[in-house]
Structure 1
Amino acid sequence: MKDTMRFVARATSRMAHVSLWAAGLGLISMTALIAAQVVWRYVLNDSIVWTEPASVMIMGWFIFLGAAVGIREGYHLSFDVILYMIPQKAKLVLHSISDLTVAGFGVGMIWFGWQLAEKTASNKLPSLGISGAFDFVPIVVGGFLVFIFSVERVARRAAGLGTARFGDDPVED
């Protein structure tokens, strides 16, 4: 079980690294597009019509990818006061319940994000010329990553391994 979890941890670690890099590049891209829009509008007295909707779409990507990596590392919102007063085994159970709840939220993101994408697939974003479904793809991908990373946390705990942190080597657990 531990060897399998180490293999899974390596794979999800790579997914987390790629997601975080993509989120960082998305943030840089969005910033560059907004800066270009400001220069074009206020310096050149013109406008680039596609930068605002493209920036909003990119923002969806880096928000959901970054949030998924935060889930993997255990940085999501939690209320830890009771954890200071209970035994270690009870803490592990509560952490697992929390991770399974978050995994359920990831499933909801996939399900409802997919429905939104289907409903808007025939719409065309006027300034970008692409399907409206592309606005909701980050929700589906982010939900998939949230689900995978949450289940990984529960499985690592069940295998007796610690939960992963960014940059950890899964083999050293």
Structure 2
Amino acid sequence: MILVAQAMRILSTAALWLAGSGLILMTVFISGQVFMRYVMNDSLVWSEPASVILMGWFIFLGAAVGIREGYHLSFDVLLHFLPQGAKLVLFSISDAVVAFFGAGMAWYGSKLALSAWDVILPSLGISGAVDFLPLVGGGCLIFIFSIERLVRRAAGLPTVRFGDDTVEEV
């Protein structure tokens, strides 16, 4: 279990660094496009589609990490009135639903990528499947991290804010 937890932490950290790098790279691309358009009176035709692809990656990678670390959106009003056992059941149901959602993202994202495989993005010269790969990658990570949360909860381990062992689920 410890090796799996370490591997998940490494995967999560790598996803977070990739997401941050994608955000920075997208900012550089858009800044370059603004400079080229308004200062040089020219245009970088590839900057907008490349930025949109990067945006898909950093959104879905960041969302997966947020799910793993318990920072995703939730509605907690009912949880303040329930006993601990009921809370754990609801947390587990939530994680199972999120896992199925991630699996659906990966499955249908794969179908979309395969359907666009032969389409070439003119400004980038690459397959249109690249547009849908963030759905597949993010969906796989969301599924894996949600399953990890279920397994950790079943083992009695904390599932919120893994970096802070003093924080328990409310």
Q: 1:166 to 1:88 in 2, by over 3 A?
A: closer
What letter matches 1:61 in structure 2?
Answer: W
Query: Does residue 68 of the first structure (1) align with residue 54 of the second (2)?
Result: no
What letter matches 1:87 in structure 2?
Answer: P
Unaligned runs of 5+ in 2: 166-170
Once the two structures are superposed, what CA deviation does each residue of 1:94-148 show, in whole Å capped at 9, x if it has no partner? 0000000000000110111001001100000000000000000110000000000
Partner residue in 1 for 2:73: 77
What root-mean-square deviation, in Å, do the aligned CA atoms of Structure 1 and Structure 2 show? Answer: 1.1
What letter matches 1:67 in structure 2?
Answer: A
Query: Does residue 163 of the first structure (1) align with residue 159 of the second (2)?
Result: yes
In 2, the alpha carbon distance for the partners of 1:21 and 1:136 equals 20
What letter matches 2:102 in structure 1?
Answer: G
What letter matches 1:147 in structure 2?
Answer: F
Partner residue in 1 for 2:107: 111
SS at match of 1:7: helix
In 2, the alpha carbon distance for the partners of 1:99 and 1:41 equals 46
Partner residue in 1 for 2:85: 89
Aligned ranges 1:37-56 → 2 under 5 Å? 37-56=33-52
What's the TM-score, normalizing by structure 1?
0.93
Aligned length: 165
Residue 151 (structure 1) aligned to one of 147, 150, 156 = 147
Query: Does residue 100 of the first structure (1) align with residue 99 of the second (2)?
Result: no
Q: Structure 1 runs of 4+ off > 3 angstroms?
A: 166-169
Q: 1:156 to 1:97 in 2, by over 3 A?
A: same
In 1, the alpha carbon distance for the partners of 2:7 and 2:68 equals 12
Shift of 1:18: 0.2
Query: Does residue 130 of the first structure (1) align with residue 119 of the second (2)?
Result: no
Q: 1:21 to 1:146 in 2, by over 3 A?
A: same
In 2, the alpha carbon distance for the partners of 1:13 and 1:90 equals 28
Instruction: Determine which structure has greater relative contact order: mean sequence separation of CA pairs < 8 Å that are 6+ residues apart, divided by chain length.
Output: 1
In 2, the alpha carbon distance for the partners of 1:11 and 1:99 equals 20
Shift of 1:167: 3.3
What's the TM-score, normalizing by structure 2?
0.94
